[in-house]
Chain A
Amino acid sequence: MSTLQVRVWRGGPEGGDFQSYRVPRRASQSVLDVVTHIQRMLDPSLAYRFACRVGMCGSCAMTVNGVARWTCRTHVDQVCADGRLELAPLANLPVVRDLVTDMSEFFDKWARARGRFKGRHGRHDDFERVAPDSAARKQVDAAIECIGCAVCYSSCDVVAWNPQYLGPAALNRAWTLQRDVRDAAQAERLRAVAGDAGCHACHTHLSCTERCPKHISPTTGIAGLKRDALAAALKGKL
């Protein structure tokens, strides 16, 4: 059985360094399997985060060989040609300990982007009919499967340059609500996501779109928000 040389970042908010481990190479081994082996067999003090292990919960994202990835669905074969792995916490987020980052700011930005649905009907009203093949619903469908893993946020240069920037995931969420015909807070949301810390800060580098494990294109949604904001501004409604 061959062996993987794994360097894992260990430390906390004040700093840290990489530690090396040797992990047995196995068939169909995910990066999360490697981290779990280290924690259970080699060093129980290692902190990392995971839950579902099947690509649904978005909690196991880390930086793998310099690239943010979901580790439960990333096979070692995909990222490790020479038997070496380097694992670090996600970039652009404060480290709690080892591979665990503090996601508070990431999700606070969803709230700042008004990422919450606001209906206009009460419980006694009839259901709203939304045609699945309508243009707006198709745009929502293309962006709705976000699992909140923060891979896009961690990969975004603009977040690194401008810490106030809401980031791809929050803006993508806002976009899905801007195209939801049932939502009643679209004018307010557009004001929240336009501007220097919002969609206009995006440089269309496409890192978020390239790295998103769910193959969502936040860049497309952000471009849509920019167009919506311009149209509203020209009508004096922004």
Chain B
Amino acid sequence: MSARREALLWGAQRASAALLALCVVVHLATMIYAAHAGLSAAQILARTRGNLVWLGFYSIFLLAAVVHVPIGLRAVLSEWLGWRGASRDAVLAAFAAALAWLGARAILGVFL
């Protein structure tokens, strides 16, 4: 693993962490509001369908998670299992793709 790639991954993880901090707060506040206001699924969908603001917000949230989580898992796999090298990174790239696909499905599910 080159020093350059390692430094860039570190930068990507820190930048995505900053985004996640903001996104998680907004997401939790939204969930608490929806639960306390007693909104039904239909009422929530009425607010999210066709709403580009929520689409944009959750797309950024997803992107940050897709960047952040695999880089963190990479360190866990290295330190706890001693798994390093191309095989680990290939599995994590597949994991990131799966995370992106599942997240995109969820976002489009409440937008379309």
B22 contacts chain A at the CB level, 8 A cutoff: no
A238 contacts chain B at the CB level, 8 A cutoff: yes
Contact of A195 among B3, B79, B80 (CB under 8 A): B3
**Is chain B's binding surface mostly helix, strand, loop or mixed?**
helix
Please tell me if the beta carbons of B80 and A200 are within 8 angstroms of each other in the complex.
no
Interface residues on A, range: 10 to 19
Q: Which of A178-212 contact B (CB under 8 A)?
A: 190-191, 194-196, 198, 200-201, 203
Number of A-B contacts (CB under 8 A): 49
Please tell me if the beta carbons of A195 and B11 are within 8 angstroms of each other in the complex.
no
Cβ–Cβ < 8 Å partners of A233 in chain B: 3-4, 7-8, 11
A201–B80 alpha-carbon span in the complex (Å):
13
Q: How far is the CB of B109 from chain A (nearest CB, A)?
A: 36
B10 contacts chain A at the CB level, 8 A cutoff: yes
A69 contacts chain B at the CB level, 8 A cutoff: no
Chain B residue at smallest Cβ distance from A225: B7
Please tell me if the beta carbons of B6 and A195 are within 8 angstroms of each other in the complex.
yes
Q: How far is the CB of B48 from chain A (nearest CB, A)?
A: 37
Interface residues on B, range: 10 to 19
Please tell me if the beta carbons of A200 and B79 are within 8 angstroms of each other in the complex.
no
Please tell me if the beta carbons of B80 and A229 are within 8 angstroms of each other in the complex.
no
Cβ–Cβ < 8 Å partners of B78 in chain A: 162, 196
**Most chain A CB atoms below 10 A, which of B6, B9, B10, B79:** B6
Q: How far is the CB of A66 from chain B (nearest CB, A)?
A: 22
B contact residues vs A (CB 8 Å cutoff): 1-4, 6-11, 75, 78-80, 84
23 pairs from A and B in contact (CB 8 Å cutoff): A161-B80, A162-B78, A162-B79, A191-B3, A194-B3, A194-B6, A194-B7, A195-B1, A195-B6, A195-B7, A196-B1, A196-B78, A198-B3, A200-B10, A201-B75, A226-B7, A229-B3, A229-B10, A230-B7, A233-B4, A234-B8, A234-B11, A238-B3
